[in-house]
Amino acid sequence: MPLIDPFGRTIEYVRLSVTDRCDLRCFYCLPKGFKDFEEPAEWLTFHEIERVIKVFAELGVNRIRITGGEPLVRKNLPELAQRLSQLPGITDLSLSTNAVQLKRYARALKQANVTRLNVSLDSLDPERFKTITNGGKLDKVMDGLMAARAAGFSPIKINTVLMQGINEDEAEDLVAFCIEHGFTLRFIETMPMGETGREAAKHYVDLQKIRQRLAEKYELIPGVMPGGGPARYVQVAGTELRIGFITPLSQHFCETCNRVRLAADGTLYLCLGQSDKVELRPLLREGISDEQLKQVISGGIALKPARHEFNEKPRQIVRFMSMTGG
């Protein structure tokens, strides 16, 4: 039986966080100097991840996105990707990364059947990039992007969290950059996830206004893009560029939600913007059977909330974005 939640939404997509750790400290996600991460012993092992995803696949899930923190800091990640790509029913395996280590792993990820990449990139200015990420090196990200393209990844989606007074003025530059390199561009609104997310919310930009601003410079044609994500796309006339707008606050997309999130420690979060969860790790380590695991997961989906309450209760979510990935 497919996983259908109380609102009639079919859950076919799992965002899989393989670590809460990251090699950057984007100010809107992880506090500078943050060290209070989960211990590796608390992470699901590759075998446990494979078991859970296999069961999800038997329940109709066909899309897996590997996220973090930063997934490339987890050792032997291409091996896990290879194993997940072999699972019956999984037809789409993608990965979100900050690309700092992508130059090293691009070819191995491609060979491991990762089909699509999303790369976080909030600025094209090396100094500003360094400030936003608390020390990140932009040239490493650029090297990673070029290595991914050379490895044959397409489309490569650029994810930019647009923030007032921080990088909002770069929207047009990012459009030009993506036209030049053949990337897809997605602008994302800030979300009040944890204290860091609430700090970033002070720089909130309504993406409807950015779309209007871009429409003054480009002819924007409403369009679609493959992938189970929430972005609303336009195409820039005369180019291959598609721009996506991910607008959880100004125009949420919860009615068509098709996903849940599995954190590195085996916590199944039913909604990014809520705290409803099911702890799978203790059950896995107590020897739960696959059939029992299906019952537990189905039971969890029956508790899936209708939507986030980021606007109504901006202080509700205490966990950082890095715990589940976006």
Task: Give the footprint of ligand SF4 on this chain (CB under 6 A).
Answer: 253-254, 257, 259, 271-273, 307-308
Q: Which residue is nearest to ligand SF4 (CB)?
A: 257
In the complex, the smallest distance separating the C-beta of residue 322 from ligand SF4, rounded to whole angstroms, is 16
Nearer Cβ to ligand SF4 (93/272): 272
In the complex, the smallest distance separating the C-beta of residue 275 from ligand SF4, rounded to whole angstroms, is 11
Nearer Cβ to ligand SF4 (128/307): 307
**Can you tell me the distance from the alpha carbon of 54 to that of 87, in angstroms, rounded to the nearest whole number?**
6
**Can you tell me the distance from the alpha carbon of 78 to that of 63, in angstroms, rounded to the nearest whole number?**
17
**Can you tell me the distance from the alpha carbon of 119 to that of 43, in angstroms, rounded to the nearest whole number?**
24
Nearer Cβ to ligand SF4 (145/321): 321
In the complex, the smallest distance separating the C-beta of residue 78 from ligand SF4, rounded to whole angstroms, is 28
Nearer Cβ to ligand SF4 (195/255): 255
In the complex, the smallest distance separating the C-beta of residue 259 from ligand SF4, rounded to whole angstroms, is 6
SS3 117: strand
In the complex, the smallest distance separating the C-beta of residue 206 from ligand SF4, rounded to whole angstroms, is 18
Nearer Cβ to ligand SF4 (100/280): 280
Please report the beta strands in the chain, taking only residues with DSSP state E, as ranges in sequence order: 13-17, 63-67, 92-97, 116-120, 156-161, 184-188, 220-223, 232-236, 242-246, 259-262, 267-269, 277-279
300 close to 278: Cβ distance less than 8 angstroms: yes
Nearer Cβ to ligand SF4 (85/251): 251
Residues 6+ apart with CB under 8 A from 132: 26, 27, 122, 123, 166, 167
Alpha carbon separation from 290 to 59, 221, 303 (Å, rounded):
11, 46, 20
In the complex, the smallest distance separating the C-beta of residue 14 from ligand SF4, rounded to whole angstroms, is 12
What token pair was written down for 204?
A: 């909130």
